[in-house]
Amino acid sequence: MLSQYFHPLNIALVLFVVATLFFFDAIGTWFDSRYIKSPAFLRPAVWLYGMGLFVAVWFGLHFFIPFRADYILFSTLPLLYIALPPYLHFRRWKELWIFAKSHRLPLIIFFILSPALFVKSSLPPYLTDEMAYHFWSPYDVKHELVWNFGTGYYQNLPKLIDTMMVLPFALTKTYAPSRLLHFLLFYSGVTAIYAWLKLRFGFTVSALFALMYLFINQNLLIIATSGYIDYSMAILITLAVITLLDVMIFANPASFLAGSIFWGLSIGGKYTALLGLTAYTTIFSAWYLYQGKKYLHIRNLAKFLMLLLIFGGYWYVKNLLYTGNPIYPFLFGCKFAQCYDISGVYTGSWTIPIKFANSFKIISSLTYGHPVVVALFIVALLLLKLHKTVIFLLIGAFIELFLTRNFSGFFDRYFLHLQTLLIIILVLPAVRYKLYLLPIIALAIFLVLTTLKTTYSPWNYLSPQEVYYAIGKTNIYHWLKDRHKQNGDIIAWCGTSGEKDLYILDEGILYTRDEQPMSVLVVNCRYIFPKPGQLATADQPVWFASHRTCDSGSDLETRLVCQAKPLGRYLYFYEPKGPTL
C-alpha cells in the first residue's frame, strides 16, 4: 500500500539514522586503524569509509540477492562482529565528541539549519532527477532481484551514492533517512575541510570558509538533502584534493591513503570526478617524481590504486566487463550491437563553452552571480599569486577544464568542487592581510543573513504544504493532490493492494510537462506499453492511462477512452464487450 511508504522523519527514523552513522563509523574506524591511519582533521569523515565498504559489499551481493530488509540486516552482522568490539574497547565514538568540542562552529551552524533540514529531509521524492533515476521506486525495490544494467546510459552510470540511499529505503520504506544521511555525508566533509583549514591556516580562515560556503547557495538544503549528488560529490572531490595538497605542501604523508579513499568514493559516484582525479594526480605525480620519493614509499602507490578500486573503481570494472568500455557511453564505444548515443548532449546551449573568453562567466556561475564575491576572488588571486596552495588548486582546475572542453561545456552542477576550492582561495588572504579581512567578514555576514532570511521566511523556502507533511499533519495522498494534480490519481491507484498491470497508451503521462516523473512513487503497477489496437482486441479487462478525452477525435485510442470507465484523471478501466471499436 502507498500509505506504508514515504513517511516523514520521526523519532524512530532519527534514531535509525544515528544507529546507521555509528555502524558506518565503527566499520570506518576499524578499517582506518588497520590500513590508513588518517590524520585527525578527517575524523568526522571516517564514517564515510564504512559507508563506502558497505556499499561495495552490497554492490557484490546484489548480483545474487535483492535489496530486501532481512538480507540487509543480516549482512551487517559479520561487519559488526569484526568492527564493534574494537570500537567499544577503544571508545572510538568518544573521539567524535572530543572533535566536536574543539570545532564548535560547524555544530552551531548545523543546529541553526536543523529546523529547515528536518522539513526538507522529510519530504517524499519531488525533484526531477531524483524521481527520474537517482531514487528507486517501491516497485523496483521489490522486483529487481539482481542488478539490471541493460544498455542504456543511466543504468550504467556509477551509482555509489544512489546505492547508499536505496539501502535505508529498503529497510524503512521512506527516503527521509536517506535524505538525512546524504546531507550528513556532505556536512561531515565540510566539517573535515573546516578542521583542515583551522589546522593549517587558523580559525579566522576556517570560520570564514564555513560561513561563506554553507550560506552562499540559498538552495543548499534542497540540493544536499535530495537525490541530486552534486554537492556530496563536490565535498568528496575537495577532500581528495586537500589530502593530496596536505602531502605535497605540508609534508604530511598520513593524508595520502585517505585521499585514495575519497577519490574512490568520488569516481564511484559520478563520472566527472575522473577529470579531477586525472588533473590533480597528474600534478601529484610530477611532484612525486621530483621530490616526493623521500616522503612516500613506492608501495604506497600500489595501495593507493587498490583503495581506489575497493571504494569506487569497481563500477568501471563492471562497465568494462558488461559494455567493453569502462566509461560507457563516453569515448570508447561499446560491444553492443547499438551503443547509446549522447553526442552533443553535454555541449548544448545550457552549458558555457570552456574557453578563456568565458572565464568571467564560469567564475560568476560558481558564485551564483554575486559580484562582490567575484571581485574579492580576483583580489585574492592578486594577493596570493605566489601562494603554493593557490598555485596547486588553480593548476589542477585549469587542467580539469582543459580536459573537459574536449567533450563537454561548463555547467556549475558538474563542477561544484571548483566552487569549494574557489571559496578556499577567497578566504586565504584573511590570515595575512588585515585590510582584506573587513570586506570578507562583511560579505560572510551578508550571505549568512540573506540566506537565513530566505530559508525561514514564510511561504518562501519552506512551503506550508512541506511543513505540514514534515510534522505529520498531512500524508502522501494530500501530497499527491498538491504536487501531482495530473497523475496523482494514477499513483494512488497503483498504491492500492495487489499487483497489477497498467497499460500506458500515452507515455507523456509518466513525465508530464507540469509535474515531476511519477514512476518513483509507484508501488504495485507494472507498466506495459501497447499499441491501441492491442487493447481493442483484448479478451480480458484492462486498466490503462491516456491523456485523451471523448472529444479528442475519432482515432482508436479516443474510442477506447470513450468506451472505458474513468477511475480518476487519465486512468480508465476497459472491459471488452465485443467488436464494437
Mean pLDDT confidence for 513-523:
82
Cell 605525480, residue located: 285
Cβ atoms of 570 and 509 within 8 Å: the answer is yes
Amino acid identity of residue 75, one-letter, is S
Q: Give residue 346's pLDDT.
A: 64
Is 224 within 8 Å of 83 (Cβ atoms)?
no
- Per-residue pLDDT of 338-377, as tens digits, reads 777 775 566 666 788 888 888 888 998 898 888 999 999 9
Is the per-residue pLDDT at 2 higher than 70? Answer: yes
Mean pLDDT, range 392-418, rounded to an integer: 91
* Confidence class for position 153, pLDDT limits 50, 70, 90: confident
C-alpha distances in angstroms, 127 versus 74, 120, 130, 172? 32, 12, 6, 21
Average pLDDT, the chain: 91
119-132 b/e (C-beta count within 10 Å ≥ 16 → b): bbbbbbbbbebbbb
CA distance 163 to 169: 10
For residues 119 and 53, the answer to whether their CB atoms sit within 8 Å is: no
Contact 351, 359 (CB under 8 A): no
Q: What pLDDT score does 103 carry?
A: 97
Does residue 413 carry a pLDDT above 70?
Answer: yes
Whether the per-residue pLDDT at 162 is higher than 90: the answer is: yes
Instruction: Collect all residues with Cβ–Cβ distance below 8 Å to 458 and sequence separation of at least 6.
Output: 464
Query: Grid cell 495487489 — which residue?
Result: 498
pLDDT 10s digits, 234-287: 999 999 999 999 999 998 888 999 999 999 999 999 999 999 999 999 999 999
Would the pLDDT of 179 be above 70? yes
Average pLDDT score over residue span 323-327: 91
- The pTM of the full predicted model, rounded to 2 decimals, is 0.94
Nearest to 231 by CA among 414, 55, 462, 368: 414
* Distance from C-alpha of 379 to C-alpha of 120, rounded to nearest angstrom: 37
- The confidence band for 513, taking pLDDT boundaries of 50, 70 and 90, is low
pLDDT of res. 478: 95
pLDDT for res 290: 85
What is the CB-side half-sphere exposure of residue 310 using CA atoms within 13 A? Answer: 18
Q: Is the pLDDT of residue 537 over 80?
A: no
Tell me how far apart the 2 most distant CA atoms of the chain are, in Å: 87
DSSP 572: E
- Residue 487: pLDDT above 60? yes
Question: Domain segments of the chain: what residues?
Answer: 2-456, 484-574
- The angle formed by the CA atoms of residues 255, 256 and 262, to the nearest 5 degrees, is 85
Is residue 200 within 8 Å of residue 155, measured between CB atoms? no
Q: How buried is residue 259: exposed, middle or buried, by Cβ count under 10 Å (0-12/13-18/19+)?
A: buried
Q: Which residues of 544-554 are buried (b: 16+ CB within 10 A; e: fewer)?
A: bbbebeeeeee
Given a cut of 60, whether residue 303 has pLDDT beyond it is yes
Residue 154: its pLDDT value, please?
84
Strands (E), 397-481: none
The per-residue pLDDT for range 66-96, each reduced to its tens digit, is 999 999 999 999 999 999 999 999 999 999 9
Q: Count how many Cα atoms sit within 13 Å of the Cα of residue 203 in the half-sphere of its side chain.
A: 5
Residue appearing with cell numbers 498491470: 501
